Amino acid sequence: MARAPGPDEVYSEALRHISSKGLRFLLRCINHSWTTGTIPVEWRRATIVPLLKPGKSPELLESYRPISLTSIVSKVAEKMVLKRLLWVWTPHPHQYAYRSMRTTTMQLAHLIHEVEHNRNHYFQVSLPKKSGTGNQLHYRPHRTLLVLVDFSKAFDSIDHRVLSRLLANIPGVNCRGWLRNFLCGRYAKTRVGHRHSDRRPMLRGVPQGSVLGPYLFSLYVHPLLNLLNSFAGVTADMYADDLSIIVKGSPGKTPFPLPTWFFKNCMRGVRKMAWPSTRQSVKLLGSHFPRTRSQIMIVKGRWPLVVAGCQIPVMTMGASRTTKLLGMDLDPRLTLNVAATKQCAATSQRISQLRCIAHKERDHLHMTYARSSLDTVLPNYAMAASSYGQ
């Protein structure tokens, strides 16, 4: 899809074989668009192709990801504008996607580090003695609450008015003007096979498949990450639209002494982003977190969950003993045993395939095919295993 042509039917190979005179003319056109803030109409046209998500049912509409095929020339201009944008603006440090030297492994490693830090950080608690006379000091480790939020249709639900207000804080008149005009007046049509729908205006969202789309989404969620990380004992990380909230708590009657206004402020921050609510909402202390596919898990803790003296009906939040973050299975003790077992089974299957098709001297295939799946997750396994002396 990266090289697929847009509505103008210009292929990327055509730009590779263009003459030097044609390249200079193209550069003058892009520079004129940058200085004047005007964007050609064809650059704001898109053809949406629905792609089936892996492992999803083809009969459900939400199983498809809408990919926008835009003009190749527009993508060249977007790459040039992106360099200017990253010169004056930096994505949030807790956003691990769309940044150089940042991977999913780093976010998982940060999660393991936070859990182990809380587990090794003890505090004093006064408990009555068994004899019934007086109290005695005990030391208890902190517990960790992990809330995973997967925003539904996040890229398609971005409000252009909110994004325009955020773009007002970007330095540079040309950069602000070009990005605002990039969002305005966009039209798209859907293509399924050889059939096309009517062209419709795109009043919300950013085009998935464009160069600037992911970075505009990162700019859009920047205030939400600032809000979540402003609370004491709370750490929020994101990889694209996958949000993970780590809350530090202590055992007892109120293991996570977060007041109700924490969740209300979170809800207020989401509403400021103008994301529409869905039917499947998560109810927490009377507040609705308007997202689907949300899960909650207490790392090394017991049920039920009590916050601010109120017992939370955790089953309404999709509470689970095991959950999955960025493709890795997590267990309450964060030993990663479930993930390691699945990874070993997948690797054994690949080795069995190599034995059937490869020659005896199959070292090169073994390194590129079998071990590639292990090399991406070994750092996190090593961190979790060292915590338990394994």
What is the predicted pLDDT for the residue at 266? 60
Rounded average pLDDT over 225-249: 85
Token pair for residue 20? 């030097």
Q: Are residues 201 and 54 in the same domain?
A: yes
Task: Give the C-alpha separation, 53 to 50, whole Å.
Answer: 9
Question: Where a domain ends, among 166, 186, 214?
Answer: 214
- Domain assignment present for 308: yes
Q: Are residues 236 and 341 in the same domain?
A: no
Q: Are residues 206 and 239 in the same domain?
A: no
Q: Are residues 41 and 186 in the same domain?
A: yes
The total number of structural domains in the chain stands at 3
Mean pLDDT of the chain: 77
Q: Which of 206-215, 286-295, 376-385 has the highest mean pLDDT?
A: 206-215
- Domain assignment present for 307: yes
- Domain assignment present for 4: no
Task: Give the C-alpha separation, 13 to 93, whole Å.
Answer: 36
Question: Where a domain ends, among 168, 190, 214?
Answer: 214
Percent of the residues in the chain that have a pLDDT greater than 70, as a whole number: 72
Task: Give the C-alpha separation, 365 to 356, whole Å.
Answer: 12
The CATH number of residue 239's host domain is 3.30.70
Q: Is the pLDDT of residue 9 over 90?
A: no
What is the predicted pLDDT for the residue at 313? 42
Least confident of 37-51, 126-140, 162-176: 126-140
Rounded average pLDDT over 127-143: 79
Domain that holds residue 351: 335-359
Q: Are residues 120 and 67 in the same domain?
A: no
| pTM of the predicted structure, to 2 decimals | 0.77
Q: Are residues 208 and 224 in the same domain?
A: no
Helix (H) or strand (E) holding 33: helix 20-36
What is the predicted pLDDT for the residue at 270? 57
Q: Is the pLDDT of residue 262 over 60?
A: no
- Is the preceding peptide bond at 290 cis, omega within 30 degrees of 0? no
Rounded average pLDDT over 126-144: 79
Task: Give the C-alpha separation, 115 to 107, whole Å.
Answer: 13
What is the predicted pLDDT for the residue at 61? 84
Q: Are residues 159 and 282 in the same domain?
A: no
Token pair for residue 151? 């925003």
- Domain assignment present for 384: no
Q: Are residues 228 and 305 in the same domain?
A: yes
Q: Are residues 50 and 199 in the same domain?
A: yes
Q: Are residues 21 and 117 in the same domain?
A: no
What is the predicted pLDDT for the residue at 275? 54
Nearest to 266 by CA among 250, 249, 286, 251: 286
- Domain assignment present for 389: no
pLDDT tens track for 275-325: 543 332 332 322 223 334 545 555 544 444 444 444 444 433 444 567 778
Which has the higher per-residue pLDDT, 270 or 351?
Answer: 351
Token pair for residue 310? 């109120």
Kindly report the backbone phi and psi dihedral angles of residue 169, in degrees, each rounded to the nearest multiple of 5, phi listed first: -90, -5
What is the predicted pLDDT for the residue at 178? 94
Task: Give the C-alpha separation, 348 to 370, whole Å.
Answer: 8
Q: Are residues 74 and 165 in the same domain?
A: yes
At a CB cut-off of 8 Å and minimum separation 6, what does 4 contact? 49, 69
Q: Are residues 327 and 197 in the same domain?
A: no
Rounded average pLDDT over 180-187: 92
- Domain assignment present for 3: no
pLDDT tens track for 14-34: 888 889 999 999 999 999 999
Helix (H) or strand (E) holding 222: helix 222-228
- Domain assignment present for 239: yes
Which has the higher per-residue pLDDT, 230 or 300?
Answer: 230
Least confident of 167-171, 216-220, 280-284, 377-381: 280-284
What is the predicted pLDDT for the residue at 82? 95
